[in-house]
Amino acid sequence: MAFEPIQSQWMSPAEAAAYLGCSRNFLDKDRITGLLGIPFSKLGRHIRYSREALDAYLKSTAQVTDMEECHG
63 Ramachandran zone, left/alpha/beta (phi>0; psi -120 to 50)? beta
Residue 35 lies in a domain: yes
Per-residue pLDDT tens for 2-32? 655 556 899 999 999 999 999 999 999 999 9
Residue 44 lies in a domain: yes
pTM, rounded to two decimals: 0.74
- What's the length of the chain? 72
Q: What mean pLDDT is reported for the chain?
A: 86
When divided into structural domains, the chain yields a total of 1
Alpha carbons 39 and 62: distance in angstroms, whole number: 16
Segment (H or E) for 10: strand 10-11
Neighbour tally for 49: CB within 10 Å: 24
Residue 48 lies in a domain: yes
Domain membership of residue 23 as a residue range: 10-59
Residue 4 lies in a domain: no
Residue 29 lies in a domain: yes
Q: Pick the residue with more confidence: 72 or 16?
A: 16
